[in-house]
């Protein structure tokens, strides 16, 4: 644990309910969620993160979930809890697909799932949109690792669904990209992760000058060949055509 992490304030889940159940802490759902988290072994909420709207910090908050740091069975973790105002009923499908991706090192390790939450590894690093590579070499490494993870997802038959806008769906820690947010993922559609991500990364300000845009004829042709075979050779040709 870093010193910022060990000095961060710890609160009981009930004391932190305005963050855990943002934006509707006074709902019966919130009582059920807190009970469920306690039963699963979540001991404390930890005040870490830069999302400050609830009055207490969160690591992030999106359409589906509030993500906060917590102590679970003595370990510092991240918890994604279904937001009280979400239309979704459970986190189970997302948890299943995240666990599958985590088993292949694509997503952060999943420790436990409950009906309305995922308990998984806390990634200490910025989102891809806030990430600033230390060097061109490092930027290239991150992009290659990330595209490789998209290739693995394609092979697994899981379509992430939001990799055209990878800025908030990827976290970078020590030059390793981790894909998060399997909220829109599906194992029923034909996966298009690499194709989507190739378009997505060429729009990131820091990567734009390093990669060929995905509508460039050579990249398009390589992606077309890749979609037909999903082979490692075809994937490597895509990297080459992109200039990586
Ligand atoms: N394991 C994690 N470690 C640290 N921060 C995380 C983790 N998972 C998610 N976050 C943060 O929370 C934000 C929202 O998570 P996300 O899964 O995208 O939720 P939503 O489905 O609501 O969009 C992310 O963009 C990221 O900043
Ligand atoms: Mg998201």
What's the CATH number where 100 sits?
3.30.200
Closest ligand 1 atom number to CA of residue 121: 1
**Which residue's structure tokens are 């300000």?**
205
Question: Ligand 1: which residue has its CA nearest to atom 19?
Answer: 62
Residue 2 gets which letter from DSSP? -
174 is a domain residue: yes
Ligand 1 center to residue 171 CA distance, Å?
A: 8
Separation CA 161–CA 149 (nearest Å): 14
Q: Domain boundary at 121, 146, 173, which? A: 121
Separation CA 125–CA 175 (nearest Å): 9
Question: Ligand 1: which residue has its CA nearest to atom 11?
Answer: 60
129 is a domain residue: no
* Domain encompassing residue 195: 136-242
Total number of domains in the chain: 2
64 is a domain residue: yes
Q: Ligand 1 in contact with 94 (CB < 6 A)?
A: no
Residues 143, 218 within the same domain: yes
Q: Ligand 1 in contact with 126 (CB < 6 A)?
A: no
Residues in the chain predicted with pLDDT less than 70, given as ranges, are none
2 is a domain residue: no
Residues 76, 167 within the same domain: no
Give the chain's largest Cα–Cα span: 56
What are the angstrom distances between the C-alpha of 226 and each of 10, 14, 128, 165, 229? 48, 50, 25, 21, 5
Check: CB of residue 189 under 8 Å from CB of residue 162: no
Ligand 1 center to residue 50 CA distance, Å?
A: 12
Q: Ligand 1 in contact with 81 (CB < 6 A)?
A: no
Closest ligand 1 atom number to CA of residue 67: 12
How do the residues of the chain divide into helix, strand and coil, expressed in percent and rounded to 5? 35, 20, 45
Can you give the pTM of this predicted structure? Answer: 0.96
Residue 149 has a pLDDT of 98
């Amino acid at each position: 644990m870093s010193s910022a992490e060990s000095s961060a304030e710890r609160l009981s889940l009930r004391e932190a309910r305005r963050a855990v159940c943002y934006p509707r802490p006074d709902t019966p759902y919130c009582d059920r969620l807190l009970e469920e988290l306690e039963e699963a072994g979540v001991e404390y909420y930890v005040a870490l993160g830069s999302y400050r709207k609830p009055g207490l910090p969160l690591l992030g908050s999106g359409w589906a979930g509030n993500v906060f740091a917590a102590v679970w069975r003595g370990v510092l973790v991240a918890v994604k809890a279904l937001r009280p105002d979400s239309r979704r009923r459970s986190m189970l499908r997302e948890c299943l697909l995240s666990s599958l991706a985590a088993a292949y090192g694509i997503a952060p390790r999943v420790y436990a799932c409950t009906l309305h939450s995922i308990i998984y590894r806390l990634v200490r690093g910025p989102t891809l949109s806030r990430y600033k590579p230390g060097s061109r070499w490092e930027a290239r490494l991150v992009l290659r690792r990330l595209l490789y993870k998209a290739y693995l997802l394609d092979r697994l038959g899981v379509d992430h669904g939001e990799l055209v806008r990878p800025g908030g769906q990827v976290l970078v820690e020590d030059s390793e990209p981790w894909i998060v947010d399997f909220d829109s993922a599906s194992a029923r559609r034909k996966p298009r992760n690499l194709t989507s991500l190739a378009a997505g990364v060429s729009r990131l300000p820091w990567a734009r000058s390093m990669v060929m845009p995905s509508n460039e004829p050579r990249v398009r042709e390589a992606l077309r060949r890749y979609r037909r075979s999903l082979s490692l050779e075809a994937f490597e040709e895509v990297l080459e055509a992109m200039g990586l």
